[in-house]
Amino acid sequence: MSMQPSTIYLADYRPPNFSVSHVELDFDIHPTQTRVVSTMTMKRHPQGEAIIVLNGFELTLIAIELNGRELLAGEYHRDEESLSIPCDEFDVTVRVITEINPLDNKALEGLYRSASMFCTQCEAEGFRRISYFPDRPDVLATYRVRIEADKAECPVLLSNGNLELSGELDNQRHFSVWYDPFPKPSYLFALVAGDLSAQSDVFVTASGREVALHLYVEAKDLDKCDFALEALKRSMIWDEEKYGREYDLDLFNIVAVDDFNMGAMENKSLNIFNSSCVLAKPETTTDQAFQRIEGIVAHEYFHNWSGNRVTCRDWFQLSLKEGFTVYRDAQFSADMGSAAVKRIEDVALLRARQFAEDAGPLAHPVRPASYIEISNFYTLTVYEKGAEVVRMINTLIGDDAFRKGSDLYFDRNDGTAATIEDFIAAMAEASGRDFSAFMSWYSQAGTPEVHVTERWDETSGFYELAFEQRLPLAGGRENWKPLVIPIRLSLLGEAGALAIQQAGAESADNTEWVYELDQYEATVKFGPFNERPVPSLLRDFSAPVKLVDTLTDEQLRFLIARDTDAYVRWDSSQKLLLAEIERAKSDSYSLCPKLSEALAAVLADDAADPALRAYSLSLPSEALLQQGESVDPVALFTAKDRVKAAIATELQEQFRTIVAQRVSWDQYQPSAEQVGQRLLQNLALDYVVKLGECSAAEAQFASANNMTDQLAALRSLFRYADRHPMAEFISQWAEDGLVLNTAFALQASARDGATLADIQRITEHQAFDFDNPNKVRAVFGSFGSDNTPLFHAKDGSGYEYLGDMVLKIDESNPQTASRLAAPLTRWRNLAPAYSAAMKAVLERLAGCPTLSKDLYEVVSKSLL
Ligand code: 0A1
Ligand code: ZN
């Protein structure tokens, strides 16, 4: 980075001067010198200026032609990031010849080499590293792509669309030609060339189209393809049934790649996946990974409509495709397994990580107003909070209108680059609802707090709830608008939920109601009742807010025992556990007997879903604990450990019984039933090991027929016992890079007695590789977010170490470096001693003259 990077503003959006209707791309692949010839059919926008602007980065320009004539150096202007050609014609052909070096590309954007294959990653702005092009999502073109490569090195040549032609050439080379009839932006372009094997299948769409499905992997991974292919077929049927969306080509390819910055990418008909997000088999893959893979396969597939057929006008609209697609994949996962469990998992993630982001220096609205580097905005806010916003729309208008709105959105915007307003307009039209007040969810950052107080009048039997919303935004109420917050609620009495007389109360027996809080303050009156109700609020987590209530511990225990809403039951136990951790900061702490009783009852409730029981007994994550002000992470870590030990002691008999009566299946399935049972059993095992009893875990480690059970046993032993089979595990799985990553992650999060030198040693393992984002994340990501005692060491050494590693990785891979830096941005929340040490590291990074744009944005905004 040579100059101060500039900020891009949504308010500055202008359509391109020239768009591209068709492009012919020709790749002559050689590892260090790949020649790309791009021939673009361009048209000037009626209001466009007479200048063609192309983006390009780190390209060697060989030649450029306008309408068949090669341009001389003075006829165009070129700088580090663009090339512009003055041109007063309206219909032109531009041909650009460039050369690139895939082998040296460690940023993993554009065309690069991963293991033995060449592959691309173009979202958001990677295409400009391949050729000069108007690399912006509102330029939609059809693509014909010719790929030529060495036949032995790259027997498989893939791009988007359908294969038109292939053949042999001289010098042991061969070629293939692909044509994609659907106009698309450059970020959806993809190319793969390598020595790959495929597992294949066929899907017949609702209208009878036969679609060939291929999952391309390295030959050694062919036994890890079944699950993703099945998940893909489930996704294809689901999208037909739930959203009326059919697949539109005769071919759908997925390729698994080891070196990948993110989870996966929805390139038209050629999805590229991080191998950790697609390869699976029971012996090496945990239940959680199976479920994640199913969700990501679905997510990328669903993008074919929400993202590809209808794309984004500009990158500020990113949540248009991502928020909607995350919502769609969450609905899918809910339908495939347990809806309640999926909801609790998503809420736990949102509260632990998105709330922290929304309260930190990089907080931004679901639709940001500005950015320096768009890669920094693939965030939990754009994805997860964006999905919550779509969920609220569904809640507010109901399922039928939501489906009508989505049909209208797809039909009306098909083949175009749309905005969030286009999505909302379709929902408004389908439902007859005015969304103008709702739009603030897209433009106001920060997590709103909703404060609720109860008023019960014993004599009249009337019960009131007073709500107040507080926005954590500078300048107070005058500068911001109150949000429209749907609060799903019930009022519980001794014999169950009470009937709510309010108009529009939802459930058949009028016991549930979605109250719309759209003012800063409002009060609702219920009753008369002949008993004081206990409120069950924000059921199913109906809005992404922090609910601050005044419920007593007794009321919370009542909800845990009696509510029918799984989220509220879980949330109530989390609230009690959080309060317990707060109390456990004192040395004289002992577990509250009433809480112990309540937890014992949950654990003993054999009629309840085992996964829900397990989550109710899981302590809040450190990311959640560390929210707030003047946080002492190490004190909280110690307090949490005390609560854990106390629960282990109090409920030991129950935990031992669950462990002793462990159910196992000969036929492993990542089904809701088996996953839930393993979750509960492994939770109990963890508590038992915490007590110092290791034999059951040791036996489970040795005999498990699946990675979920083996890793759970290893994790508990590694965390709580001196003798653990880590070395055995590493040698058992020496050939499986993905399993080794989980071992690295576990080692990097070692809590007690570990030193920085131990972490350093992992990076010297022969399987470690600084250029591979999965490995880097396994070690330094876990260190920064999962190793409280070492990362937050009082002398600042943990911060210094992560800072050093971030700088090192930034030299080759800015996207990964800037993500790894996230734990270093939270200094303002920390108690003074931590805060000063962390800030010092950020200042050191800020003073480094060679920071990438990505890291510069994170570091500079954190220090503002
Ligand atoms: N669109 C992909 C995720 C993705 C985003 C950015 C990337 O590079 C900066 C790569 C992938 C998805 O939502 O799955
Ligand atoms: Zn996505």
Beta pairing, strands 416-418 & 310-312: parallel
Residue 280 lies in a domain: no
Residue 124 lies in a domain: yes
Q: Are residues 433 and 573 in the same domain?
A: no
Percent of the chain with pLDDT over 90: 97
Residues in the 5 Å CB sphere of ion ligand 2: 322, 325
Number of neighbouring beta carbons within 10 Å of residue 195 = 14
Q: Whose CA is nearest to atom 12 of ligand 1?
A: 265
Stretch among 400-409, 751-760, 770-779, 847-856 having the lowest mean pLDDT: 751-760
pLDDT digits (tens, 9 = 90+) for 143-196: 999 999 999 999 999 999 999 999 999 999 999 999 999 999 999 999 999 999
CB-ligand 1 contact for 300 (6 Å cutoff):
yes
Whether the predicted pLDDT of 668 surpasses 60: yes
Q: With bands split at pLDDT 50, 70 and 90, how would you rate the model's confidence at 822?
A: very high
Find the CATH number of the domain harbouring 649.
1.25.50.10
Domain boundary among 169, 195, 221: 195
- What is the structure's pLDDT at 83? 98
When pLDDT is averaged across residues 592-602 and rounded to a whole number, the result is 98
On the 0-12 / 13-18 / 19+ scale of CB atoms within 10 A, 506 is: middle
CB-ligand 1 contact for 262 (6 Å cutoff):
yes
Q: Are residues 672 and 745 in the same domain?
A: yes
When pLDDT is averaged across residues 501-510 and rounded to a whole number, the result is 75
Domain count, the chain: 4
Q: Are residues 158 and 185 in the same domain?
A: yes
> Which token pair is 510?
């009028």
Find the CATH number of the domain harbouring 527.
2.60.40.1840
Residue 287 lies in a domain: no
When pLDDT is averaged across residues 124-129 and rounded to a whole number, the result is 98
Residue 561 lies in a domain: no
Q: Are residues 486 and 430 in the same domain?
A: no
Domain boundary among 543, 578, 611: 543
Number of neighbouring beta carbons within 10 Å of residue 695 = 10
How many residues make up the chain in this entry? Answer: 864
Phi then psi dihedrals of residue 632, to 5 deg: -105, 95
When pLDDT is averaged across residues 376-385 and rounded to a whole number, the result is 98
Which candidate, 123, 441, 34, 96, places its Cα nearest to that of 307? 123
Percent of the chain with pLDDT over 70: 99
Cα–ligand 2 centroid distance for 43 (angstroms): 30
**Residues 277 and 261: beta-carbon distance below 8 Å:** no
> Burial code of 144-157, b = ≥16 C-beta within 10 A, e = fewer?
bbbbbbbeebbebb
When pLDDT is averaged across residues 662-689 and rounded to a whole number, the result is 97
Domain boundary among 406, 421, 443: 443
pLDDT digits (tens, 9 = 90+) for 38-58: 999 999 999 999 999 999 999
Encode 648-698 in three state secondary structure: HHHCHHHHHHHHHCCCCCCCCCCCHHHHHHHHHHHHHHHHHHHCCCCHHHH
Whether the predicted pLDDT of 458 surpasses 90: yes
Residue 99 lies in a domain: yes
When the pLDDT of each residue in the chain is averaged and rounded to a whole number, the result is 97
Whether the predicted pLDDT of 554 surpasses 70: yes
pLDDT digits (tens, 9 = 90+) for 26-36: 999 999 999 99
When pLDDT is averaged across residues 450-468 and rounded to a whole number, the result is 97
Q: Are residues 680 and 795 in the same domain?
A: yes
What is the Rg, in whole angstroms, of the alpha carbon atoms belonging to the chain?
A: 28
pLDDT digits (tens, 9 = 90+) for 206-217: 999 999 999 999
Mutation pick for ligand 1 pocket among 262, 277, 376, 379 (CB with most ligand atoms within 8 Å)? 262
Find the CATH number of the domain harbouring 137.
2.60.40.1730
- What is the structure's pLDDT at 741? 98
Q: Are residues 493 and 640 in the same domain?
A: no
Q: Are residues 46 and 135 in the same domain?
A: yes
Mutation pick for ligand 1 pocket among 105, 306, 321, 378 (CB with most ligand atoms within 8 Å)? 378
Number of neighbouring beta carbons within 10 Å of residue 168 = 9
> Which token pair is 423?
């999505």
Q: Are residues 429 and 492 in the same domain?
A: no
Amino acid identity of residue 404, one-letter, is: K
Among the atoms of ligand 1, which is closest to the Cα of residue 321? 13
Q: Are residues 348 and 397 in the same domain?
A: yes
Whether the predicted pLDDT of 297 surpasses 70: yes
Residue 555 lies in a domain: no
Residue 665 lies in a domain: yes
Amino acid identity of residue 225, one-letter, is: C
Stretch among 74-78, 478-482, 740-744 having the lowest mean pLDDT: 478-482
- What is the structure's pLDDT at 477? 86
Q: Are residues 470 and 399 in the same domain?
A: no
Residue 723 lies in a domain: yes
Q: Whose CA is nearest to atom 5 of ligand 1?
A: 123
Cα–ligand 1 centroid distance for 262 (angstroms): 6
Which candidate, 184, 178, 181, 216, places its Cα nearest to that of 197? 216
ipTM above 0.95, yes or no: yes
**Residues 314 and 418: beta-carbon distance below 8 Å:** no
CB-ligand 1 contact for 265 (6 Å cutoff):
yes
> Burial code of 249-276, b = ≥16 C-beta within 10 A, e = fewer?
bebbbbbbbbbbbbbbbbbbbbbbbbbb
- What is the structure's pLDDT at 663? 96
Cα–ligand 1 centroid distance for 610 (angstroms): 34
Nearest ligand to the C-alpha of residue 265? 1
Whether the predicted pLDDT of 2 surpasses 80: no
When pLDDT is averaged across residues 575-598 and rounded to a whole number, the result is 98
- What is the structure's pLDDT at 140? 98
Q: Are residues 46 and 173 in the same domain?
A: yes
- What is the structure's pLDDT at 509? 80
CB-ligand 1 contact for 158 (6 Å cutoff):
no
Is 283 among the catalytic positions? no
> Which token pair is 49?
């200026």
pTM (whole model) above 0.95: yes
C-alpha distances in Å from residue 777, one per residue of 103, 285, 535, 768: 22, 18, 42, 11
Q: Which domain range does residue 399 map to?
A: 310-443
Instruction: Please report how the helices 633-650 and 652-660 are oriented relative to each other, as an axis angle in degrees rounded to 10.
Output: 70
